[in-house]
Amino acid sequence: MKIVVIGSGAREHSLCYSISRSPLVSSIYAIPGNYGISQLAECIKIDQSNFEEIYSFCQKNTVDLIIVGPEVPLVEGIVDFFEIKGIKIFGPNKYASQLEGSKGFMKDLCQQNNIPTANYARFNNKADSINYLKDQSLPIVIKADGLAAGKGVTVAESMEIAEQAIIDIFNEKFGANMEVVIEEFMDGEEASYFVCADGENFVSLESAQDHKRIGENDTGPNTGGMGAYSPAPIFNSKIKQQVDNEIIIPTLKALQKSGNPYKGILYAGLMIKDGYAKLVEYNIRFGDPECQVLMLRMKNDIVQLILDCIDGKLNKTQIEWADDNCATVVMASKGYPGEYKKNTIIHGIEKLESSDIFQVFHAGTSHNGSNLLATGGRVLSLTAKNETLSEALNIIYESISQLEWPEGYYRKDIGKKALS
C-alpha cells in the first residue's frame, strides 16, 4: 500500500516509524514531514490545509490511505473531502471533530449525556462573561471556544486574570469570532486515555501521562508537552471501566445518534481525584508526545488497525502491548514556549543508536549537509521502553548526555511522579 501521513511533528515521526514496520506498506509519503521523517518517508511540500493539492498528489501517486496526525485539517473537514473523492482516510469527520474544535460543543454534548466534567457556561459577549464571574469562586477556568494551538485556556487565580483572559478572547487574540467557555476548576491528577473507534465499536488503546508545563515540578507556562510516559499508573482498571462506561461510550453513542458516528482516535484528557475521573477535554487525534510512547509499546500492525477502523471491523481487533514501561523526554530550544534562537547546531546525534527499545523522534529539525539544526520550539523526542520506567528514563537521560547542544533545554523530572 501507498500511504500519506499528514503532519510534521515528532508524533507523525513516530507514526511513520510504526507504519514503516508494517508488511502491508510499500511507500510512505509525508505532507509536509520533517528531516527525521525524511529518513523513513518521502517528504512532500504541500500545505496540510490545501486539500485539492493533496488530492492531486494522491491521484498522481495512486495513494491508498491517508493518515492525519494533527487536529487542524480534521476540524477543517479533510475526512469529508476525501470520503467524497473515494480515498481511504483515517480520522473523524468535520462534525465529530467539533469535540476538539469547539469546547462549547463538547461541553453541551457532555451535559446532554450526563458525562462527568466541570460545570460551565458559554458566552458570546464580553459583558455577560464578566458579569458571570461575579458569583464564581477562584480559581476559575477561561477557555477560547475554538482551536488555539493549546494556548486558549487560562486557569485564573484572580478575577483580574480571569477578566483579562475574557478581554483577550473577545479582542481576537486567538482568532476571529471566538466565544468563551467559563468552567469550574477541577482539582486532581491529569492522565490521557486513547481509544480507537470505528463508528460502532471501539478498542481501548493505552493511558499516558503528559508534562505540559515548561518547568520542573510542573511550573511555568504551558507547552505542547515536554515528556510523557505510558502506562499511567493512576489510570487503573477500575478507572478505565468508569471512563469507558461514563465518558467514552455515551460520547460515541451520542455522535452515532447525531448521524456522525465517530471514526478515528479519540483522546480523553482526564482529571482523576479520589479514584474518580472527570473529562477535561477531548482531542480528536493522538497526543504529542503521548503518541511517541504508544508507538514504541504497541505490538499490532498499525496499518491493519487503521484499515479495520475505517472498514468498521474493530469488533474483531485485539490490541497487544509490550509489558514494558515507555517514556519520552522532549528536547526544546531554550526560550520555548517564548522566543528562541533558530538554526542552532545539535552535535552527537549519530552516537545514538536506534533500536526496538530506543528511538529519537524529530519535530523541529533540519540538516544543512553537515550538521543537524534545531529549527523549532520542540525539537527532539527521545523515547525508550524497558521493564521498568526508571530504566527507560535512564536510557533516555544517558542518551541526552551524549548530545552537545548548549541552546537546548529539557526537563530532568519526567516520570518522577510515577516513580515516587
Binding site for ligand GLY (CB under 6 A): 210, 225, 283, 287-288, 290
Residue with cell 520542573: 216
Give the residue, chosen from 71, 281, 308, 324, that forms a contact with ligand AMP under the rule CB under 6 A. Answer: 281
Residue 183 contact, options ligand GLY, ligand AMP, none, Cβ 5-8 Å cut-off depending on partner type: ligand AMP
Which candidate, 163, 159, 156, places its Cα nearest to that of 126? 163
Which of the residues 92 through 131 are near ligand AMP (CB under 6 A)?
Answer: 118
Residue 225 contact, options ligand GLY, ligand AMP, none, Cβ 5-8 Å cut-off depending on partner type: ligand GLY
Peptide bond into 233 cis (omega under 30): no
Residue 290 contact, options ligand GLY, ligand AMP, none, Cβ 5-8 Å cut-off depending on partner type: ligand GLY
Residue with cell 526496538: 356
Which range binds ligand AMP by CB under 6 A, 56-64, 91-99, 178-186, 237-245?
178-186
Element (H, E) at 398: helix 389-400
CA distances from 133 to 143, 282, 406 (A): 13, 25, 45
Query: Closest distance between ligand AMP and the C-beta of residue 153, in Å?
Result: 4
Is residue 269 a contact point for ligand AMP (CB under 6 A)? yes
Complex with ligand AMP: residue 190 or 324, whichever CB lies closer: 190
Give the residue closest to ligand AMP by C-beta. 281
- How many CA atoms does the CB half-sphere of 333 hold within 13 Å? 21
Query: Closest distance between ligand AMP and the C-beta of residue 71, in Å?
Result: 11
The three-state secondary structure class of 18 is: helix
Residue 287 contact, options ligand AMP, ligand GLY, none, Cβ 5-8 Å cut-off depending on partner type: ligand GLY
What is the torsion angle, in degrees rounded to the nearest 10, for the CA atoms of residue 149, residue 152, residue 153 and residue 157? 130
What residue type is 197 in one-letter code? A
Complex with ligand AMP: residue 153 or 307, whichever CB lies closer: 153
User: Long-range contacts for 42-49 (Cβ within 8 Å, ≥24 apart)?
Assistant: 48/6, 48/7, 48/8, 48/72, 48/73, 49/73, 49/76
Complex with ligand AMP: residue 61 or 222, whichever CB lies closer: 222
Is residue 186 a contact point for ligand AMP (CB under 6 A)? yes
Complex with ligand GLY: residue 97 or 129, whichever CB lies closer: 97
Complex with ligand GLY: residue 64 or 206, whichever CB lies closer: 206
Give the residue, chosen from 58, 203, 280, 395, that forms a contact with ligand AMP under the rule CB under 6 A. Answer: 280
Q: At what angle do helices 126-133 and 159-170 cross, to 10 degrees?
A: 170
Complex with ligand GLY: residue 287 or 377, whichever CB lies closer: 287
Query: Closest distance between ligand GLY and the C-beta of residue 288, in Å?
Result: 5
Complex with ligand GLY: residue 210 or 246, whichever CB lies closer: 210
Give the residue, chosen from 12, 179, 183, 206, that forms a contact with ligand AMP under the rule CB under 6 A. Answer: 183
Which candidate, 351, 357, 393, 358, places its Cα nearest to that of 372? 351
Where residue 392 falls (left for φ over 0; alpha for ψ -120 to 50; beta otherwise) is alpha
Query: Closest distance between ligand AMP and the C-beta of residue 250, in Å?
Result: 19
**How many angstroms separate the CA atoms of 410 and 67, rounded?**
29
Complex with ligand GLY: residue 183 or 288, whichever CB lies closer: 288
- How many CA atoms does the CB half-sphere of 372 hold within 13 Å? 20
**How many angstroms separate the CA atoms of 420 and 418, rounded?**
6
Complex with ligand AMP: residue 185 or 409, whichever CB lies closer: 185
Is residue 190 a contact point for ligand AMP (CB under 6 A)? yes
Residue 288 contact, options ligand GLY, ligand AMP, none, Cβ 5-8 Å cut-off depending on partner type: ligand GLY
Which range binds ligand AMP by CB under 6 A, 179-187, 233-241, 258-266, 369-377?
179-187
**How many angstroms separate the CA atoms of 200 and 77, rounded?**
21
Query: Closest distance between ligand AMP and the C-beta of residue 320, in Å?
Result: 29
b/e map 397-415, b = 16+ CB within 10 Å:
eebbeebebebbbbbebbb
Complex with ligand GLY: residue 145 or 308, whichever CB lies closer: 145
Contact residues for ligand AMP, defined by CB under 6 A: 118, 141, 153, 155, 183, 185-186, 190, 212, 269, 280-281
